[in-house]
A and B are shown apart, each in its own frame.
Chain A
Amino acid sequence: MQFPVLSVIVFTPLVAGLLILLLPAERKTEVRAAALAAATIALFLSVWVYFSYDVAAGGYQFVEKIPWLPALGISYHVGVDGMNAPLVLLTGIVMFTGVLISWKIDDRPREFFAFLFVLATGVFGVFVTLDLFMLFFFYEIAVFPMYLLISIWGWKETREYAAMKLTLYLFIGSVIALVGALAMYFTSGMGTFDMLELQKASFSVGFQRFWFPFVFFGFAVLGGIFPFHNWSPDGHVAAPTAVSMFHAGVLMKLGAFAALRVGIMLLPEGAKFHMGWIILLALVNVVYGAFIASVQTDFKYVIGFSSVSHMGLVMMGFATLSKDGLIGSGVQMFSHGVMTALFFAVVGMVYDQAHTREIPRLGGVRKVMPLVAIAFIIGGLVSMGMPGFSGFIAEFPIFMGVWNTHPWIAIVAAVSIVITASYIIRVIGRVFFGAIPVEFEGHFSDVTVLDKVALVFLSAILVAIGIFPILMVPMVQSGVNSILHLLGGA
């Protein structure tokens, strides 16, 4: 039997989390070391899976299938294809850097890492599972630790409100999608939750059109789609740094990915029918998110709304149901994940020093933290879609896809690039350049080595994908081909 690498990736965080809970509470260094070890293993294995995926062969690889409840056709069935392999890698990256960034957490680090790792198991599980039941199982596992992580270690001002809001939004979305999934299961009459089988179920067009919105929006809530995006900036801002990174970097992809896998791939006729107006919602996300971001004075809210805007691009790419759009969305999920993790890491580092996130009060951060400034600028260039960075590789195909299907929407959406550039440049100018305000004189100091490792790591990935798109695009393309096949196109 082949080494069950995906299962090891999925369950390493969970096992590590349980082991960490067994350590005595006061041994904080050991707790951190154990967390870092587990994150390193997960990162290493996800890199290994990513690079040993055979793009030429395509399809699902590293497949494991264990019948779990044969009576109802539930199986533990995992595998990666071109669409989810980058997301597994992304999760490994964010988990690893998240642990590095969280080294400073001093309040109950044991519980913090345990909950964070339960979350990571849920995320890995959703990305690799090929069973509809297991998808919900892991999805819920990914949602509830967020509540604890935000409400316990979050920003004191808004954490209780934001944590509850986030949890309820996401839970409502998932249970509504759950009813749709049950309807699929029983209507198919196939007695299986295996998504590869359910793809072959020929649901009637009426059924697909009726249930698609429930399933798609149920998950897209977590993807931050307008008008259900409201929880996300609040949640980002209230969360501690590592959780913001996880949240914006990985969890929002979880929603988008599940909407793709369950919504579009299982109900393609429904997708074709509804995407005409969903693309308008995505357009609102893109433009409105960028506008709101540009008027925020809180550094973290700027990034929070920029996530809403960028996730709108992902949804927009999905909504084109075209090859270019889907490839762009696939890359964008990865690129935005790394970029936004970088952004939140920077915001956290600045906040730790200045104890404020008000942009007008900040300034001159570059002088004490040069590396942080460089990292933010790289992230900013990615965010603007500058050629040579991963953002370009992602956004260009999305705009191509949109232009081919809805030219007017592409034109309106392009406005967002300008707005994004304006707020990113404003933040760079205000926060990182200029003079250090008098009140912070002498209080600033540079970040730790671990922080630097995390920043360099994240930045390097963004540049690498930008310069060598071949690292990712062919893989995503192979995943997209199978989606197009389901959609009946070439």
Chain B
Amino acid sequence: MISTNFDPIMFQAILPEILLVVLAGLALTLDLILPSERKASLGWIVAGGSLLILVLSMTLARPANQGELLWGGMIRFDWLSFIFEMVFIFSAGITSLFAMGYEAFSRRGEFYVLILVSTIGMCAMASAADLVMLYLAIETTSIPLYVLAGFIVRDNKSTESGFKYLLFGAMTSAVMLYGLSLLYGFSGTTNLYGLAAGVQNGHIPIVTLVGSLLLVLVGFGFKISAVPFHFWAPDVYDGAPTPVAGFLSTASKAAGFAVLVRVLLVAFPAIPRDWGAIAAALSVATMTLGNLLALTQRNIKRLLAYSSIAHAGYALIGVVAISQLGVSSVIYYLIAYLLTNLSAFGVVAAFGRITGSDEVASYDGLSRRSPGLALVMLIAFLSLAGMPPLGGFITKFFVFAAAVNSNLIWLAVIGVLNSIVGLYYYLTVLKHVYLYRSEDEEKPLPLPRSYVIAFAVLTIGIVLVGTIFAPWFNWATNAAMAIF
């Protein structure tokens, strides 16, 4: 399967990454040569470039139905990696649109470059088929994100956020690296598919195997902000610039799921009971704790942080199901979640950049102050709560369906009970937006054009994902078949 000779497919496999490097280089060059008053258009260039990359990749670099190991077994080119790559590039484009509303970085080329480099890392995470590649990809993703979280150096909260993220990230990635080295030591291979054979033939004692897997899961758990590795998320989201927080909570989390799904299902299909139990425990703890803690939040970014922790828990249900439907449901879930949460954080950015406040109470009267923004927020929050005809409903439905299909009815029940708790706090926020009055109702809340475009794309996307299921589901199923 491992092809070493030149083959166009080798370039197809990394075409998105190549184009991202080109775009990053372009952004950097333009940053140098453009006069500073014209640098505001950098965001348009990056967003337009991302769109172009999406179109080019989808026309030129679609994988075959049968996945293939390429570049010496370092990466695997299949639908799973491809779909995740498209998702990451999309969210990078949207994030640059949101970044354009901020004085602090809309004219800073390095901001966009960091976003793009991080996206390259995520793409590599989605396709990594080798432990070394995996670790490199995770670090390529993380390091720019540490910088981005602390990007506003004059703001103590932002620098604190970046530093905290760095410390947590470094710690967990060290633990993960230890786990990876143990796996290599016991199996003698760094390739995931080779590892699977090693696990299969039973030469490795089960205790060591599960032990090393646990260490690796620490790193993945950090990426997807699963309990008990979630402590960083509220503080980092709160302090980081809002568009960065949105990027962290969506693309970065989806990347974590991409590696989680691939590593667990490709390398450890022989011991599903063991890691299934661990993942089930993670899932229950993550959604329950995330939802309960979100109940008491007064700051909308912290609330969204806990809500995004809870959503990681829901998505984990699909992983625990260990079935093709389960994996499809995870991917579909992440697509809808990504659109929804980007939109939610976009609203927070649009509101915070004018008012300077992220308190839930400051959203009083928003529906009178800016009916359009309030409607976008309504749609995003109801989608998070899992209401039709929005993306959140159908994807929750599939995740729970996958659980019931795998005879995990108890897990589905915990999931639905959690979604009720979720509904409560999402509605509480909407109550501020639609019900309460405030003195600021007459003050304007202008939306830059880039925000309007981003909101239009995201809102239409949320509705499309929630109503026209077939294409998305078939995509997700294609991706799932790359593993099963």
Chain A residues in contact with chain B, CB under 8 A? 21, 25, 68-72, 74, 108, 111, 133, 136-138, 140-141, 144, 147-148, 151-152, 160, 164, 167-168, 171-172, 175-176, 178-179, 182-183, 185-186
- Point out the residues of chain B lying under 8 angstroms from A183, CB to CB: 404, 409
Given A141-B388, A144-B387, A168-B424: A175 touches B435 (CB 8 Å cut-off)? no
Q: Are B435's CB and A152's CB within 8 A?
A: yes
Q: Are A179's CB and B420's CB within 8 A?
A: no
Quote the shortest CB–CB distance from B470 to chain A (angstroms). 5
**A187 to B, closest residue via Cβ:** B404
Q: Are B430's CB and A148's CB within 8 A?
A: yes
A175 to B382, CA, bound (A): 16
Q: Are B470's CB and A137's CB within 8 A?
A: no
A167 to B367, CA, bound (A): 21
20 A-B contacts (beta carbon < 8 Å) = A21-B375, A68-B470, A69-B469, A72-B401, A108-B367, A111-B367, A137-B388, A137-B389, A140-B387, A140-B393, A148-B434, A160-B435, A164-B427, A168-B423, A171-B419, A175-B417, A175-B419, A176-B416, A179-B404, A179-B413
- Point out the residues of chain B lying under 8 angstroms from A172, CB to CB: 420
Quote the shortest CB–CB distance from A120 to chain B (angstroms). 14
Given A69-B469, A71-B477: A167 touches B427 (CB 8 Å cut-off)? yes
Q: Are B424's CB and A164's CB within 8 A?
A: yes
Q: Are B420's CB and A140's CB within 8 A?
A: no
- Point out the residues of chain B lying under 8 angstroms from A178, CB to CB: 397, 400, 416
**A25 to B, closest residue via Cβ:** B371
Q: Are B389's CB and A185's CB within 8 A?
A: no
Q: Are B423's CB and A179's CB within 8 A?
A: no
- Point out the residues of chain A lying under 8 angstroms from B470, CB to CB: 68-71
Quote the shortest CB–CB distance from B326 to chain A (angstroms). 13
A72 to B474, CA, bound (A): 10
Chain B residues in contact with chain A, CB under 8 A? 367-368, 371, 375, 382, 385, 387-389, 393-394, 397, 400-401, 404-405, 409, 412-413, 416-417, 419-420, 423-424, 427, 430-431, 434-435, 469-470, 473-474, 477
Given A137-B388, A168-B423: A175 touches B473 (CB 8 Å cut-off)? no
Q: Could you list 13 further interchain pairs (A-B, Cβ under 8 angstroms) beyond the known A151-B435, A167-B427, A182-B412?
A: A21-B375, A68-B470, A71-B477, A108-B367, A136-B388, A136-B397, A138-B388, A141-B387, A144-B387, A152-B434, A179-B413, A182-B400, A185-B404
Q: Are A141's CB and B404's CB within 8 A?
A: no
Quote the shortest CB–CB distance from B126 to chain A (angstroms). 23
Quote the shortest CB–CB distance from B480 to chain A (angstroms). 11
- Which one of A133, A151, A168 contacts B431 once the chains associate, using CB atoms below 8 Å? A151
Quote the shortest CB–CB distance from B63 to chain A (angstroms). 20
Q: Are B397's CB and A151's CB within 8 A?
A: no
Quote the shortest CB–CB distance from A441 to chain B (angstroms). 34
Given A140-B388, A175-B416: A147 touches B405 (CB 8 Å cut-off)? no
- Point out the residues of chain B lying under 8 angstroms from A21, CB to CB: 375
Q: Are A137's CB and B393's CB within 8 A?
A: yes
Quote the shortest CB–CB distance from A89 to chain B (angstroms). 25
- Which one of B375, B385, B404, B427 contacts A186 once the chains associate, using CB atoms below 8 Å? B404
- Point out the residues of chain A lying under 8 angstroms from B375, CB to CB: 21
- Which one of B404, B420, B435 contacts A182 once the chains associate, using CB atoms below 8 Å? B404
- Point out the residues of chain A lying under 8 angstroms from B417, CB to CB: 175
Quote the shortest CB–CB distance from A438 to chain B (angstroms). 35
Quote the shortest CB–CB distance from B314 to chain A (angstroms). 13
Quote the shortest CB–CB distance from B174 to chain A (angstroms). 41
A70 to B122, CA, bound (A): 32
Quote the shortest CB–CB distance from A183 to chain B (angstroms). 6
Q: Are A171's CB and B423's CB within 8 A?
A: yes
- Point out the residues of chain A lying under 8 angstroms from B404, CB to CB: 179, 182-183, 185-186
Quote the shortest CB–CB distance from B292 to chain A (angstroms). 15
A141 to B382, CA, bound (A): 11
The 9 A-B pairs at the shortest CB distance, nearest first, are namely A175-B416, A182-B404, A69-B469, A137-B388, A144-B387, A140-B388, A69-B470, A186-B405, A141-B388
Quote the shortest CB–CB distance from B82 to chain A (angstroms). 19
**B431 to A, closest residue via Cβ:** A151
- Which one of A25, A108, A152, A179 contacts B412 once the chains associate, using CB atoms below 8 Å? A179
- Point out the residues of chain B lying under 8 angstroms from A71, CB to CB: 470, 473-474, 477
Quote the shortest CB–CB distance from A473 to chain B (angstroms). 35
A70 to B469, CA, bound (A): 10
A182 to B413, CA, bound (A): 11
Q: Are A74's CB and B469's CB within 8 A?
A: yes
- Point out the residues of chain A lying under 8 angstroms from B416, CB to CB: 175-176, 178-179
Q: Are B393's CB and A171's CB within 8 A?
A: no
A111 to B371, CA, bound (A): 9
Quote the shortest CB–CB distance from A136 to chain B (angstroms). 7
A25 to B420, CA, bound (A): 33
A472 to B413, CA, bound (A): 41
- Point out the residues of chain A lying under 8 angstroms from B469, CB to CB: 68-69, 74
